Amino acid sequence: MDFAELVLSSTEVGSTRSRKAKTDALAAVLAATPTTEIGPAAALLAGAPRQGKVGVGWAALRDIRAAMDGVERAGAPVSVTEVDEMFTDLGDVRGSGSTARRRSIIEAVMRRLDPSERDVLQAMILGDLGQGALESLVVDGLAKATTIPAAVVRRAHMLSGDLASTATIAALEGRAGLEAVTLRIGRGVLPMLASTAESVTAALEVTGPASIEQKLDGARIQAHRTRDGEITIYTRNLNDVTQRLASVVAVVASLPGTSLVLDGEVLGLDPDGRPRAFQDTMSSFGSEEDDGRPDARGPAMVPFFFDILHRDGQDLIDHPLSDRLTQLEAVAGPHRLGAISTDDPATAEAFTADTLAAGHEGVMVKALGSTYDAGRRGKSWQKVKPVHTLDLVVLGVEWGHGRRTGWLSNLHLGARDPEEPGRFVMVGKTFKGLTDELLAWQTAALLDLALDPSQRTPEDGWVVPVRPELVVEIALDGAQRSTTYPGGVALRFARVRGYRTDKAVADADDLDAIRALLA
C-alpha cells in the first residue's frame, strides 16, 4: 500500500470531531491494507510507530525540510513497508556520524513524497500526529475492518500491549487468533484505568461493595517475575524501567511463590515513612540506579501493590477483584496497598479521612465483582480526590519577568476534548507552585517542545506555543464558568504539584472532569 493512502486517511480523521466518523475512516483504510502491512499501518495511524522513539528531534527535521523547500517529489511512491523500514533503520543508528546517517535515511524517503505527505511523516517521527486517532480509536477501527467484536480486539490489545501485533493477528488469524492471545509473563499488559467520582459515597452508589484503597501520589508500575526468577518492571506506558528500580526488583524477588504479575505504585518515602511530593518520587524514579535508601539522590523508593494479574501459573484477570485481593494478600503481605472492603459510606469516608491525614491524595473505589479490563475508563474503578487535582496538558508557556526573567513561567493548560480525541481545550493558566528547580527544568523541556524551534528568547515572542506532550498535575480549589476559554470553564486558584512524566497526554483529564467541579 502507498503511504499516501495513510496520509489521506489521516487527513480525513483529522477533519472531523465525530468519533464514529473517525472510526469509519480508519476502518476503511485498514480494510484495504494488505495483511503484510496492517501492523505497521495501524501503528502509524495511531501516531506511534511500532519502533518507538528513534532519536530525531525538531532541529534535525527543520533542517531537512528547509533543504527540501521547493523540491518536487522524485521517484516511485513510498510504500507503508518502506516507511516502517525507515523507522527501523533510524532506531538502529548508533555511534559516530549518527546524525548525518539519520538525516540521509529520512531524506531518501522524503524526496519521494509530496509536501503534505512530508508533513505527516514529520509528525509521525515526532510523535505529534495530532489528528485524533488515539490507539483506542484505531483498535475500534480495526475491529470494524476485520468484523471481529470490539471487545475481543480490545482484550487482545490489552494482553499484548502492542497495537501492531494485535492488528497483524487480527488480519492473519481472525477472531480465533486474537482469542488465543494470553497474558505472557515478561510482556507488559495495558493497565486498567479509573474514572472520577465526586465523593466516596457517590462512587459506592455505582460500584456497590467495593475495595476502598489509598490513592498514592506515586508512579504506577507493573512487576513481572517468571518461574526462573527473571524480573521486569514496567511503567504505565509499558516502558521497561527495571534497571532504575533496584529496590523494587529486590522486593519482587523476595515475595513467595513462583511466577507473578503485580500492579501497583512506587512511592518516595521520608525516613519517618511519610510520602514525599510526586516530583521527588519522579526525580528518583528517573535516576540511573536506585538502591532503596534515602540519600542525596532522593527518597527511598518503595513499592505498594494493589492488584495481581497472575500467580504461580494461573492468570487472574478474569477473576473478580475480591478473589484477586485475597491472592494479593497471600503474596504481597506488607507490600500490599492499604485498603478496606465495604459498602458502608460512613466506613469508607472514615478510611478516606485517615488516608488524607497520612499525606496521601485520596482513595480509589473498586467494585469487588469487577474483572481487570484495560481500555476506556469505566465505572468499575473510580478515583476520589477530596483535594481537587487534575492532570492537564501544557499547550503553551509565557516568559517570566522580575526574578523569573530568563525562565519560562506561566503555563497555558489544556484538558482533553471528550468529543474529539487528540484535541485539547485551554482551561486556564498558572505560574504558582513552581520552584526554581522546576522552573529551570520546564524551561529546557518546553523549549524543546516549541512549535517554532527558533523561538528561544522573549524577543522571539512572549508566548511560546508548544507541542502537547507534557502532562502536569494541577491542584485547584474548584472550577467556574468562563466566557474567556472555549470550553466554557476555567480553573480556580490553580497551582502546580508536579509534572507527570509517567503519563501520556491520552491519560490527562478531560473537560467533563472540570465541568463536574462547577458549583
Q: What pTM did the predictor assign?
A: 0.75
Question: Catalytic residue at 22?
Answer: no
Q: pLDDT, tens digit, for every residue of 90-113?
A: 989 888 888 899 999 999 999 999
pLDDT at 135: 84
Catalytic: which of 20, 53, 144, 215? 215
Nearest CA-CA partner of 434 in 495, 500, 390, 493: 495
User: Is the pLDDT at 55 greater than 70, yes or no?
Assistant: yes
User: Is the pLDDT at 205 greater than 90, yes or no?
Assistant: yes
Higher pLDDT, 386 or 294: 386
Phi, psi at residue 243, to the nearest 5°? -70, -15
For the chain, report the end-to-end CA distance as a whole number of angstroms: 53
Q: pLDDT, tens digit, for every residue of 408-462?
A: 999 999 999 988 888 999 999 999 999 999 999 999 999 999 999 888 888 888 8
User: Is the pLDDT at 51 greater than 70, yes or no?
Assistant: yes
User: Is the pLDDT at 296 greater than 60, yes or no?
Assistant: no
Q: How far apart are CA 343 and CA 97, in angstroms?
A: 63
User: Is the pLDDT at 386 greater than 80, yes or no?
Assistant: no
Q: Is 102 helix (H, G, I), strand (E, B) or coil?
A: helix
User: Is the pLDDT at 250 greater than 50, yes or no?
Assistant: yes
What mean pLDDT value characterizes the chain?
A: 89
Q: Identify the burial level of 85 via C-beta atoms within 10 angstroms of its C-beta, where 0-12 means exposed, 13-18 middle and 19 or more buried.
A: middle
Proportion of the chain above pLDDT 70, given as a percent: 93
pLDDT at 66: 84
